[in-house]
Amino acid sequence: MKIIVVGGGKVGRTLVEQLIAEGHDISVIDSKSRVITNVTDNFDVMGVQGNGASYTVQQDAGIEEADLMIAVTDADEVNLLCCLVAKKAGGCNTIARVRNPIYNSEVSFIKEELGLSMTVNPEHAAATEAARILRFPSAISIDTFAKGHTEILRFKILENSILNDCRMMDISHKTGSEVLVATVERGQEVIIPNGQFILKAGDTISIVASPANAKRLFENMKMKRGRVRNCMIVGGGTVGYYLATQLLSQGIAVTIIEKSRERCEELSELIPDANIINGDATDQNVLIEEGIRECESFVSLTGIDEENIFLSLFARTVSDAKIITKINRINYTEVVDSLDLGSIIHPKRITAEYILRYVRAMENSIGSDMESLYELIEGRVEALEFRVRASCEVTDKPLSQIRLKKNVLIASITRNGNTIIPNGNSVIREGDSVVVVTSQKGFQTIEDIIDTGRG
């Protein structure tokens, strides 16, 4: 597809990197020529310097032939205007980043009236991600498939877990829940396991299950609590605000620690149910006084990455809370991952991923049957969701009769809103949503999973 990206900041760059890898033709518009040079030097894209909302600049970038315009500059108004102009000039689909909470509350009206295909709000997305993680505090990350009917949860097996030394085929029986282990990370290795595989403590595994089964698994594994009852949030910025409202609506008690007195007053007006504390969280006494030792979850959301890292490390030493750390910078992931910071959320990366999902779905509506594509474990494994539109090679026969390629796993089949965790006797039917986990790349249709003997 031909895609124009306006804004070459962190989100823009992450998007460009991914979209290039997926083979799209990309033009990047940015008002700073330094940004343009940087992007064109590193990626195979065309750069246009200028104001993205200008019609002539968009023409230079090839708006007439573009399929999609993604506006991710730091100004909401510019993004909206970009999309409006693009819509009129090229008739393409448009995605805008809209982050101002005022616009956010009116986002459906804006989308409708301006003819946007999608809006993304990095802060809101980050908060949703954090809230989702807090639902299963033992998981490192959670992805949802098939409109929320299937979840992939990633977590670490602890020494005392019942999954320690457990054979794959015994899991469902032992835990009393229908789950399937999709990937096992052991050391540097990523394994897509078979039925004989034995799990060990220290493995990080990804499981596929319906939300109800996932909940049952966690309960039966007796891994801490099912979900947290209270949460301490440091930093009362926009993400903090969104997170607090989401948590409160789920009945989780929220304490927000914020440095600025003014902001505290604003917050207490916006979310009266939250416990707003005015104080400097880098002062350890403040944290201890407010009960960091007792809290069940701790989220550091200040605007400074370094501060967040220190806060989380401190929380780790004094409490058993589930910890979530917000990191803005996307470089240095390897270094950050080596620290024990609990779950890490990158608002910019989440934003980019939201957009990528839309782009993939849009492309798939043209070519393949892929509904969505998720990268697991830093892109080493992909989880693909296919919609089986018509009967083909894989339908209407037991899975045991299908010769799959190596390192391919059929993780779930969703039919009429019910998720089946497949076994050898399961059958794929027309209209099903099938999630396939694989370390091979480039699958376009469900039939690509079959081993044709040609490699």
Residue 186 engages other proteins in binding (rule: CB under 8 A): no
Using the rule CB under 8 A, which residue among 37, 230, 245, 275 binds other proteins? 37
**∠150-153-159 over CA atoms, to 5°?**
145
Instruction: Between 55 and 109, name the residue whose CB sits nearer to other proteins.
Output: 55
Candidate list 29, 45, 70, 299; residue touching other proteins; CB under 8 A: 45
Regarding 289 and contact with other proteins (CB under 8 A), the answer is: no
Could you tell me if 369 and 446 are in contact, meaning their C-beta atoms sit under 8 angstroms apart?
Answer: yes
Applying CB under 8 A, which of residues 6, 15, 26, 352 lies at the interface with other proteins? 26
Q: Is 41 in the site for other proteins (CB under 8 A)?
A: yes
Question: Which of 14, 18, 27, 210 touches other proteins (CB under 8 A)?
Answer: 27
Q: Concatenated DSSP letters for 11-55?
A: HHHHHHHHHHHTT-EEEEEES-HHHHHHHHHHSS-EEEES-TT-H
Residues 139 and 206 sit within 8 Å (Cβ to Cβ): no
Q: What is the largest CA-CA distance in the chain?
A: 67
With CB under 8 A as the contact rule, the residue among 7, 14, 25, 165 that binds other proteins is 25
Output 2 or 215, the one with its CB closest to other proteins.
2
**357 makes contact with other proteins (CB under 8 A):** no
- Please state, as a whole number, how many other Cβ atoms lie within 10 Å of the Cβ of residue 327: 21
CB of 7 to other proteins, least distance (A): 16
- Per CB under 8 A, which of residues 62..91 are in contact with other proteins? 62, 64-65
Question: Residues touching other proteins: how many (CB under 8 A)?
Answer: 20
The answer to whether residues 438 and 374 touch, using CB atoms and an 8 Å cutoff, is: no
Nearest-approach distance from CB 88 to other proteins, in angstroms: 16
Q: Please list, in sequence order, all residues whose beta carbon lies within 8 angstroms of the beta carbon of residue 6, skipping any fewer than 6 positions away.
A: 12, 28, 29, 30, 52, 53, 69, 70, 71, 72, 73, 78, 79, 82
Within 8 A by CB and 6+ apart from 45, the residues are: 16, 20, 26, 27, 28, 39
Give least dist CB 47 to other proteins, A: 8
CA distance 176 to 216: 8
Residue 268 within binding range of other proteins, rule CB under 8 A = no
The interface region with other proteins, picked from 23-31, 243-251, 273-281, 433-441 by CB under 8 A, is 23-31
Smallest distance from other proteins to CB 73, Å: 19
76-85: long-range contacts (C-beta < 8 A, 24 or more apart)? 76/100, 76/103, 78/6, 78/51, 78/52, 78/53, 79/6, 79/7, 80/110, 80/114, 80/116, 81/53, 82/6, 82/52, 82/53, 82/58, 83/114, 83/116, 84/114, 84/115, 85/53, 85/54, 85/55, 85/58
Pairing relation of β-strands 204-209 and 180-186? antiparallel
Region near other proteins per CB under 8 A, out of 35-43, 221-229, 338-346, 441-449: 35-43
Judged by CB under 8 A, the residue of 7, 9, 18, 46 near other proteins is: 46
Both structure tokens of 260: 């600025």
**Residue 139 touching other proteins (CB under 8 A):** no
Report whether 135 contacts 155 (CB < 8 A).
no
State in angstroms the smallest separation of the CB of 34 from other proteins. Answer: 8
CA separation for the pair 257, 145 (Å, rounded): 34
Which residues partner with 189 through β-bridges? Answer: 186
Please tell me whether residue 265 binds other proteins under the rule CB under 8 A.
no
Nearer to other proteins, 59 or 249 (CB): 59
Interaction of residue 306 with other proteins, rule CB under 8 A: no
Contact 296, 307 (CB under 8 A): no
Q: At its nearest, how many Å lie between other proteins and the CB of residue 332?
A: 15
Instruction: Identify which of residues 86 and 214 has a Cβ nearer to other proteins in the complex.
Output: 86
Does 441 participate in binding other proteins (rule CB under 8 A)?
no
Q: With beta carbons less than 8 A apart as the criterion, state whether 69 and 83 touch.
A: yes
- Nearest CB to other proteins, comparing residues 67 and 178: 67
Residue 59 or 400: the one with the smaller Cβ distance to other proteins is 59
CB closer to other proteins out of 27 and 351:
27
In one-letter notation, the amino acid at residue 422 is P
Using the rule CB under 8 A, is 22 a contact of other proteins? Answer: no
49 part of the interface to other proteins, by CB under 8 A? yes
Residues that bind other proteins (CB under 8 A): 2, 20, 25-27, 33, 37, 40-47, 49, 59, 62, 64-65
